[in-house]
Amino acid sequence: MAAETRRRILLAESDDLLDDVETLRLHEEREAPLRLREAIRALQIRLGRRNPPLPPATLDSAHELVFAVQQRLMAANPKNPRPVRHANRPSGQPVFTVVREDRRWKVLTLPPPLASGDEAAWMELVESTVERAWDRWCYAHHQATRAARLHTRPLLALAVERAAWINYWLLVQDAERVTERLSASRARPAGGRLGSPQR
């Protein structure tokens, strides 16, 4: 339990670092300040990496490094022995979509069925992923509203918000299909097909 609590704390810290990166980008910064780079390095050390170098100075590099840290933390979830990954991509690499100009957004995907076959635990992970996508859209919406109010690259912030909403809504639909499929599987008679005519 202590290890899981620590994992969740580190995951929350990584979310805070991503918030810092997003805020700097909304202010049209391209370089990561020293305090942010040191915070990322400290997070890597707490995660178990010995003496990592100071992260690169660009915000893009800092962004990708924090996402890589998050991927390790998500993979360490004891409820999910098989980390999520897209087809044709090596494990541990986050999946990004280009939203506008050189701006990228991490795309969340639903976790695969658990190796244990525990459907209840799998659905808990599915619901948590959808909830996380909702939180990310709320954050992007807040940043888009702020960018519009401050006249700070509002079109870019709006494009990010739209990408976050599309990701959330697609996950909602995928989760509904998973739920329907599991319900149909439970309703199917042993050795028969669902809806097969009775003789």
pLDDT in tens, 146-168: 888 888 778 888 888 888 898 89
Whose CA is closest to 185, among 135, 109, 119?
119
Local confidence band at 190 (pLDDT 50, 70, 90 cut-offs): low
pLDDT in tens, 55-90: 778 887 787 778 777 766 765 555 544 444 444 433
In one-letter notation, the amino acid at residue 136 is: R
Alpha-carbon separation of residue 197 from 1, 123, 180, 186, 194 (angstroms): 50, 31, 21, 18, 9
3-state secondary structure of 15: helix
Residue 198: pLDDT over 60: no
What local confidence, expressed as pLDDT, does residue 169 receive? 92
Can you give the pLDDT at residue 100?
64
How far is 37 from 100, CA to CA, in rounded Å? 25
**Secondary structure of residue 37 in the 3-state scheme:** helix
Region 97-115: what's the mean pLDDT?
Answer: 75
